[in-house]
């Protein structure tokens, strides 16, 4: 993936050194492009395998292929970028120090008739080895800043609920089985 922007700090490296820990990893964020779709799909499926094994139906995870995900991401980037494809949407990618794709986030205008905010966080995935590094917060801030929004989580994903609560989101009591994910129960969070 060419065009590496200046890295954004995921955490204050000096704080890590002062506490006797290694410097925090640094990540570079950039907008996704259409030619990124296959790499995004590989990352997406790897994150699902790490996050949802034992949480989502195994048959659903087996049906969720890189090929299918590539087609979905190509659709979201069909006009060359997220903004040109769906005005108001944004897809950010995170690369680590070795230029490996390790995270993604997508925000978009709300399209649900009962949406409680005009914007939603549609996706935020990071590789498990980056959890706790600040990358999730960096991606969240990159696509939403502090704007009001809503999102859906798999109800059984307690880690996600804690992460989003730390960033101002709260469960609003709305939840339902999500048919495309083999009826996994999902809950809405709002800020």
pLDDT higher than 90, residue 172: yes
What is the rounded average pLDDT of the residues 155-175? Answer: 96
CB under 8 Å to 40, separation ≥6 — which residues? 32, 69, 70, 73, 91, 93, 101, 104
State the average pLDDT over residues 68-91: 93
CATH entry, 26-190, from 3.40.50.620, 3.40.50.300, 3.40.630.30, 1.10.565.10:
3.40.630.30
Q: Residue 53: which pLDDT band, with cuts at 50, 70 and 90?
A: confident
Question: Is residue 178 over pLDDT 50?
Answer: yes
Find the mean pLDDT for residues 165-175: 97
Residue 133 has pLDDT above 60, yes or no: yes
Q: What is the pLDDT of residue 102?
A: 98
Give percent of the chain with pLDDT exceeding 90. 72
Domain assignments of the chain as residue spans, ordered by start: 26-190
- What are residue 3's phi and psi, to 5 degrees? 65, 60
Average pLDDT for 103-131: 96
């Amino acid at each position: 993936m060419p065009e590496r922007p200046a890295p954004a700090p995921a955490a204050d490296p000096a704080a890590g050194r002062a506490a006797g820990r290694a410097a925090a990893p640094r990540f570079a964020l950039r907008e996704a492009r259409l030619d990124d779709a296959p790499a995004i799909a590989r990352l997406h499926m790897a994150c699902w395998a790490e996050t949802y094994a034992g949480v989502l139906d195994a048959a659903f995870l087996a049906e969720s292929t890189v090929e299918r995900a590539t087609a979905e991401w190509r659709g979201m980037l069909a006009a060359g970028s997220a903004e040109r494809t769906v005005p108001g949407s944004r897809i950010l990618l995170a690369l680590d120090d070795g230029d490996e794709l390790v995270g993604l986030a997508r925000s978009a205008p709300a399209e649900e008739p009962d949406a409680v905010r005009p914007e939603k966080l549609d996706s935020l995935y990071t590789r498990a080895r980056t959890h706790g590094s600040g990358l999730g917060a960096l991606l969240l801030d990159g696509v939403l800043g502090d704007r009001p929004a809503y999102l859906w989580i798999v109800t059984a994903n307690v880690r996600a609920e804690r992460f989003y609560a730390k960033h101002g989101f709260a469960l609003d009591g709305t939840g339902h089985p999500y048919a495309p994910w083999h009826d996994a129960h999902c809950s809405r969070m709002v800020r």
